[in-house]
Structure 1
Amino acid sequence: MFGLEFFTLTSIYFLALLSPGQDFFLIIKHALTHGYQKAWWSCLGIASGNALYIILAYMGHEYLSHYPLIVSFIEMGGALFLLYLGFLLLFAPKPHLENALHVKSKMAFKLFVQGLLSALLNPKNILFYFSLLFTIIKPETVLHVKIFYAMWMVGMLLVWDMVVALIFGNKRALRLFPYLFVVQKVVGIGLIGFSFKLALAWFQ
């Protein structure tokens, strides 16, 4: 059970990391403007914001797990939300670097705050984590496993964002930017597939 749960969680989370969102463009902008080492502070801020949302999602998951009927509806809502994200990416227009946030300051703390606020002010983050918890992680999962999942997700996020900053800290890497459009489509199809799989499991 642990292996399947962990594999499903990791697969969906990795697909989500591949999808270019506002955090992704913020990191690219910081990497191009200030270099990858400064951009890593933004990555740390984004990871901190996501860690806070994971904690909040866990608290809600623990409380609501005592109400099976509510949990059932939230599980279905989570599958629908993943379906929504999938179609959003599948039909999204080509990404443009101009849509990224602009930050002029080179202060590490300010870059950290920019990353933190980018994560906290994105309502899709908390919805995404609630979707993951209520559709994949079972309420009876022991606490130390849940803590491992949380640390694993934050670690994956931080490493991925730092790699993105490292790549785009080199301006020649802009040649890779057009391929993000293809990545959007692949990730969208993947999330749609997972949402249908979760919905079918809910009806069984």
Structure 2
Amino acid sequence: MVRIPVMNSANRAALAACILGLLGFALLVAGRGHRLDEAVLMALRQPGDPKQPIGPAWLALTLRDVTALGGIPVLALLTAIALGFLLVARQGRAAALLLLALPGGLVLNTLLKRGFDRPRPDLVAHLVQVESSSFPSGHAMLSAIGYLTLGALLAGAAAPRRQRGYILGVAVALTLLIGASRVYLGVHWPSDVLAGWCLGTAWAGSCWLALRRRG
């Protein structure tokens, strides 16, 4: 049965995620390194040709598919499937966590994008279509919220420590891969993605703590 664990260690981990995530986000806001951002983006392009990414052609195609895993349609579908299961299983608190985490994170990300209004990178060609502003990365932030929250709920249902570690490891790996794909595809500065990871982790942890406190 899927449940929100009552272990103190889980609460401590969520609190640490909030603190470290907010601290990381604040540091990125205070000192975004534009030169480092530019250097990373250019390192991912063929020398002298910012339109061509490094690596074989299949890599760009693969990362276009990977980046879709952090888009709103995929995350909304996964959340709806998980929410339906939790409601059928009468796991009200876990369902409330999902309802609070992803929609709330989407609203927060939208407000922050409008507030910072940072332009998308113009050094390299965009390999996928984008419309909104750049900071913080929505894909990075929402994938951190969605996959870490789902991973935590699934890990709560796993008894052996190795199973919990595997589930959380997959959630973290997906989050990192989706964020990295945004930089490779040229639609985000690296600092956008780092900020998204930090804030998404902090938001997921704060939602967890809010639901635990109500319990």
Shorter-chain TM-score range: 0.3 to 0.5
Report the TM-score, using the length of structure 2 for normalisation.
0.34
Higher helix residue share: 1
Please give the TM-score of this superposition, normalised by the length of structure 1: 0.35
Where relative contact order (Cα < 8 A, 6+ residues apart) is larger, the structure is: 1
